[in-house]
Amino acid sequence: MPTDSNPISTNKEIVHRYMDDCWNLGKLDELRELVAENCSHHDSVFPSLQAGVDNLRRHISMCRNGFPDCKFTIDDTIAERNEVVIHWTVTGTHKGQFLSMPPTDRKVSVTGTSIFRIEGGKIAEQWADWNLMSMMEQLGVMSQSKAEAKAPA
């Protein structure tokens, strides 16, 4: 665990380590050290994602299977009290099934914002907001829908 005596710096370090070790490097054994057992997840793209470390482990694995080279870059971090907000960019190549989409072998770059609530030195709750439509356009799965939307009625 972080050794900094400043709680805000410690909270930022927990979130940065979570993003780098768990998401970027796939070190999912570190989840229990960084995330509370009953951590809640809020992401409109994954509304059925249930609370808990084991569900988060499956979720990260599923995302990394779809984009094995995924790389989150933290563009900005803001922290106050027990919350940490990061603005991030993720890049990756669609090599496996993701959201019922077969692999396209296309590269994507998507931005988003995540808010983390830290309790007892662990992530207790997190919210994510990112642009799924941008990703789908980059994967080429929105081309047909756009054409249908522009077609005269």
Domain assignments of the chain as residue spans, ordered by start = 7-143
The residue among 153 and 78 whose pLDDT is bigger is 78
CA dist., res. 61 & res. 17, Å (int):
17
Confidence of residue 9 (pLDDT cuts 50, 70, 90): very high
Contact of 33 with 121, CB cutoff 8 Å = no
Sheet holding 71-80: strands in order across?
Answer: 35-43, 122-130, 107-119, 83-93, 71-80
Q: Which fold has domain 7-143?
A: Nuclear Transport Factor 2; Chain: A, (3.10.450)
| H-helix segments, 1-153 | 7-17, 31-34, 53-66, 132-139, 143-150
**Predicted pLDDT of residue 6:** 87
Contact of 1 with 121, CB cutoff 8 Å = yes
Condensed to tens digits (0 to 9), the pLDDT of residues 93-146 reads 999 999 999 999 999 999 999 999 999 999 999 999 999 999 999 999 876 545
Q: What is the pTM of this model?
A: 0.88
